[in-house]
Structure 1
Amino acid sequence: MMLSSLRIASRRTAVARTSIRAASAWAKIPQGPPVRITEAFKADSFDKKINLGVGAYRDDKGKPYVLPSVRAAEEKVIASRLNKEYAGITGVPEFTKAAAVLAYGADSSALDRLAITQSISGTGALRIGGAFLARHYPGAKTIYIPQPSWANHAAVFKDCGLEVEKYAYYNKDTIGLDYEGMVADINSAPDGSIFLFHACAHNPTGVDPTPEQWKEIEAAVKAKGHHAFFDMAYQGFASGNIHTDAFAVRHFVAEGHNITLSQSFAKNMGLYGERIGAFSVVCADAEERKRVDSQVKILVRPMYSNPPIHGARIAAEILNTPALYDQWLIEVKGMADRIITMRALLKDNLEKLGSKHDWSHITSQIGMFAYTGLTPEQMDQLAKEHSVYATRDGRISVAGITSENVSRLAEAIFKVKG
């Protein structure tokens, strides 16, 4: 009896112990904000709903688009039956060499003194760049980004340990560039500050400086001894011309700036999920390049060791095969032209409806995104009453506009804006 009682008591104690769980280490983590556009769009059952929040190119049927040149390059890569060994820390060299030529130009003086690494698309390039500047830039560890800028810029740079400040960029009254404010902020920042510039197709506004304005911006940056960090996520995708879109980058280098540069091949090659990008540093000479390259490798190694190879091989095949390269140039211009056409159609439809507002900013802006000038309340109204979904700041993805939905979109905007 005594033994039986002891066994029962022991079992009860064991059950009690197992039923008392230790407090979770994550018990106090707060719930993050929901992805409003995605969730609301999915919940809407209306068959003619429009999603203008997506940050990826869509064809005129509203479907994801794989470039024929990418298909052809991928088939060549697969047919080559290459191995799956690791790339080096800085990636596939055939890709990085070609990416450098694409950005800086085949005759650029920077190519022989350029430290470049493949990255996890443009975001990864920004992350490497931010970490490099936080660790090695001799000046203040503060980076100035445009107001507004791509939503992830501030988060990336803060996570790198940089302080983030903003400079004037967008004038909501003119729905255009606040050029005077931008130059004034460049001039008033402490000497030797870091400035992030969108090379082309500014995200989210679609507002870019003109070439003449870029020249004056460069002069102001040089006079203050600032460092220019360019984010070039849309080369070729903005105007349809890779050289036009790289003007600011190439002009700064030609004027003696040793810039840092983030490149992405998500938009201009449609390699979104392949995550292909590059980060580069223009150095003073080849000897400095070797030292900078060694430090970039030290940064990359504990981050992710080395980058993925498949997408880099596809991009390298396109950039290094003349026939595929020429085909890609035509295709990327086709994507840019479709977006330019959608801008014109939206403007024309609004004017035909009798809108009294000036919609010229829709066609003067460039790239995937456009700032409409609509208020957050009007954007809410578009979603609730017309099943048109976009961010509350009035930004729309022009890639989400099609020949089929542009008239309905114009009618919806006209009803909420007039």
Structure 2
Amino acid sequence: MAQFTLEELPVLPLAETFALTAAYNADSFPDKVNLGQGVYRDEACRPWVLPSVRAAEEVLHNQNANHEYLPITGDKQFNDKARELMFSPKLAKNPNIRTVQTVAGTGANNLAALFCAHHIKPKNVFISDPTWDNHYLIWKTAGPEITQKLYPYYNASARSFDFDGMIAALEAGEENDVVVLHPCAHNPTGFDPSQEQWKKIAEVIGRKRLFVVFDSAYQGFASGDPDADAWAIRYFYSTFFGALSDSQTNPPTGMLVCQSFSKNFGLYGERIGALHLISPQSVAAEGAYTHLIRLIRAVISCPSLFGARVVNTILSDADLTAQWGEDVKTMALRIQGVRASLRAELEKINIKGDWSHIEQQIGMFSYTGLSKAQVERLKDVHHIYMLGNGRMSLSGLNESNVGYVARAIKDVVDHE
């Protein structure tokens, strides 16, 4: 057997989002525009600390709290509040929902993939095409033996949601296969199923007895209404698991919900998230819950403290919760306004094609339909940075630069 040396390992490229941010930061052009990184920015394109978060920080500063380790499962009060936010206070009391704190949404997704690989042992995992690029890496790392199957999600010619393609792909699933779903503000396309379409998706998943993993990164941020943004998750839960009985003859074999507080609380660097495990029966949830705990112990031992305290402080106080509700509306409305402004600017300068999809989408991103070559020209000629697949982070736009960006897009469209 040949001796292994570290020198044999090839140099891997930096993840695209981080490489793009590094290139933007190194660019000295005064009118450069960052439309790549998925973080909220205010009208001046500056980082925004939510007023509710700032108020919670003041409360915590005056508590003279310690910095001891959390339990392996995280802060119990935070977990309770996270579960109530996701499922509603009433549903959150059901014993077949178990919650652990995670290292943001990425950690929740990684823990979900590890759990499925170790214990569900699916033959396939169905992931939307396109999706958040880290989904592919997470599942490849956690379960290299699991085949990744991409279900159609985006119709490029119509610039719309490919519902029929998604359904046809899921019909090919086998029992215990995993399907990863975005409950709102699909990343990167910004297209979400309607409630009637969600019901059909649920019917197929239940009939095929697939295992569901929801990745919820934008609750409240998408529409400004946390309850509306959780509709799909609550529908799946109530339809298949809410009765805590055997009334469902063929429910999905289980469900995991990954919950991030990065976007909707602006706690990007605090890495705060939760993972909710749902079993058809409360007794079955207990054993699975202990296996989640074992995985956490092996990977991080216990989660981080400060961000969990911030979220818990906000959601435990009626006034701060109300303020947070206004904060997410502020973010959602600004993004909606930017969408309208960009579309109006594009149409004002008579750009080729139909750009109505920009306003039909929802959430932080617009899947513009621009090609990789067009995106490269935007960067090289106009110093506008966005992902190669044409995904634009709308929070990088404001009244000062939206006209410049629209003219640059027209240039790259006309150039081909």
Q: What secondary structure does 1:255 align onto?
A: helix
The answer on whether the counterparts of 1:113 and 1:286 sit within 8 Å (CA) in structure 2 is: yes
Which of 226, 240, 250 is 2:234 aligned to?
Answer: 250
User: Structure 1 residue 24: deviation in Å?
Assistant: 10
TM normalised by structure 1 equals 0.91
8 Å Cα contact 1:104-1:110 kept in structure 2? no
Matched, 1:329 2:311: no
**What is the 5 A alignment of 1:8-407?**
25-34=5-14, 35=16, 36-108=19-91, 111-137=94-120, 140-161=122-143, 162-257=146-241, 258-407=254-403
**Quick one: which amino acid aligns to residue 53 of structure 2?**
V
1:315 alignment partner AA: V
Cα distance between partner residues in 2 of 1:228 and 1:416: 40
Number of aligned residue pairs: give it.
395
Superposition deviation, residue 40 in structure 1 = 2.9
8 Å CA contact 2:84–2:92 kept in 1: the answer is no
Q: Deviations over 1:122-149 (max 9, x none)?
A: 0000111111111111x52421100111
Q: How far is the alpha carbon of 1:285 from its aligned partner? A: 3.3
Work out which of the two has the higher radius of gyration on C-alpha atoms and give 1 or 2: 1
Match of 1:9 in 2: none
Following TM superposition, the consecutive aligned residue runs of length 4 or more in structure 1 with deviations greater than 6 angstroms are none
2: distance between equivalents of 1:69 and 1:190? 45
Q: Which amino acid aligns with 1:33?
A: P
C-alpha displacement at 1:221, in angstroms? 0.9
Q: Which amino acid aligns with 1:176?
A: S
Unaligned runs of at least 5 residues, structure 1: 1-22
CA distance in 2 between counterparts of 1:329 and 1:39 reads 33
Q: How far, CA to CA, are the matches of 1:202 and 1:382 in structure 2?
A: 24
Q: State the alpha-carbon separation in 2 of the partners of residues 371 and 286 from structure 1.
A: 41
Q: Counterpart of 1:181 in 2: which secondary structure?
A: helix
Q: How big is each residue's C-alpha offset from its partner over 1:370-402, in whole Å with a ceiling of 9 and x where there is no partner? A: 111111111111111111111111111011111
More moved, 108-117 vs 264-273:
108-117
Identical-pair percentage: 40
Distance (whole Å) between structure 2 residues aligned to residue 142 and residue 216 of structure 1: 21
Structure 1, 139-148 or 153-162: larger mean CA deviation? 139-148
Q: Is the Cα–Cα contact under 8 Å of residues 79 and 274 in structure 2 kept in the other structure?
A: yes
Alpha-carbon displacement from aligned partner over 1:158-214 (angstroms, at most 9, x marks no partner): 111243221111111111111100000111222332100011111111111111111
C-alpha displacement at 1:109, in angstroms?
6.5
Please say if residues 115 and 292 of structure 1, whose CA atoms lie closer than 8 Å, have aligned partners that are also in contact: no
The normalised TM-score by structure 2 is 0.92
Q: Which amino acid letter does the alignment assign opposite residue 369 of structure 1? A: F
Letter in 2 for 1:172: A
Paired AA for residue 128 in structure 1: L
| Maintained 8 Å contact 1:110/1:282 | no
Instruction: State how far apart, in whole Å, the 1-side matches of 2:352 and 2:36 are.
Output: 26
CA contact (8 A) 1:110 1:253 kept: no
1:18 aligned residue: none
